[in-house]
Amino acid sequence: MKEERRPESAKILSVFRHGETDWNALSKLQGQLDVPLSVRGKQQVGILSEALLADEIESVYSSDLSRAKETVLPLAERFGIPILFDPRLREVHLGEAQGIHIADIDSRFGAHSWSKWKSFDPLWDGFSFPNGETKPELDGRIFSFLKSILQTPDQVRVGICTHGYWISRMLFLLNLQPKEDLRNCEVFRIRLDAKSFFAKTVP
């Protein structure tokens, strides 16, 4: 009888944002709208593959939106590792704010709407755009995904391709230093303990 493997006590996560899209360059909100990589974004993926080479990733999880798929497919091919697409890694749904330029958000949805949305102050956790996800709803997706990753027994070093706001909220939830504005293809390396859920950044 084959012995069942237990999950490792900790995972090393290489979490990275997808490459640039034309909408990123225009400061236009995408949310869950399916926007492909730009020419510049595809060039960034080549640089990203070099940055991840030493991470020795054993598998990679990815959002199923096109800009994430186009980022991760060349990486998986180069490293010879499997990809698992997971809708929990999609960007937050921004409702009626999707497709709107950031500069126009306050005039469309009220004064200080953008700063309230970007804020990590719990006072604004209930703020959302019409017909969009709330911060607690996204947080639930993030926790669900991370907990499931910790239960996989076979890989210790895992890549995660996702989106800017998703990563910002994840860093905040793990009590790491959150960033409001992430660069495309920026990488965060995190050691996450399976028992305590304690996280710390690693080189």
Q: Which residues are catalytic?
A: 18, 91
- CA dist 92 and 163 (Å) reads 8
- CA dist 158 and 52 (Å) reads 11
The pairing of strands 83-85 and 59-62 is: parallel
List the helix and strand counts (H, then E) for the chain. Answer: 7, 6
Cα 92 versus chain centre, distance: 10
- CA dist 100 and 82 (Å) reads 35
- CA dist 68 and 163 (Å) reads 8
The pairing of strands 10-17 and 83-85 is: unpaired
- The encoded tokens of residue 55 equal 């991470």
